[in-house]
Amino acid sequence: LFYAGAKEGHLPALLAMIHLHRHTPVPALLVTCVSTLLMLVTGDIYTLINYVGFVNYLWYGVTVAALLVLRRTEPHLPRPIKVSLFFPVLYLLFWGALLVFSVWAEPLVCGVGLGVMATGAPLYLLLVRGGHKPPQIRR
């Protein structure tokens, strides 16, 4: 993910560098390794799994809901795979129930997960979409 983000210009270009002989993104792998080790030594792995799980499932539901929105707003777009709307609607019903239960059972964990996720929007607007970037960020 660090490599892909750097290739798209969302992260420093250093992370998009590839080893000449092995053809692997060594800087991105090192950042991934360090961030993984930091997550492992922070304490309770159960809480970390809950943070990641809640945010992931939140976005899975948003993605499936986008399918329904596109079906309604753009009915003539070519679709290589056609799925009955019954299945996305059923998925969203179960998804909503599980999300509500998660928030009810672990409101602090879900709130922290949402807070961490929400920090991405200002950082994206400031560092990626923003006009003038400091030279350190551009490099």
Ranges of each domain in the chain: 1-42, 43-139
82: three-class secondary structure by DSSP: coil
Residue with tokens 């994206």: 124
Confidence grade of residue 135 (pLDDT, cut at 50, 70, 90): low
Helices 45-73, 107-118: crossing angle, 10 deg rounding: 60
Residue-wise pLDDT for 41-58, tens only, equals 766 777 777 777 888 889
Greatest CA span in the chain, whole angstroms? 51
Q: Is the pLDDT of residue 132 over 70?
A: no
- pTM greater than 0.75: no
Structure tokens given for 104: 């009810």
Helix (H) or strand (E) holding 71: helix 45-73
Distance CA 59, CA 55 (A): 6
Residue-wise pLDDT for 69-81, tens only, equals 998 999 888 888 8
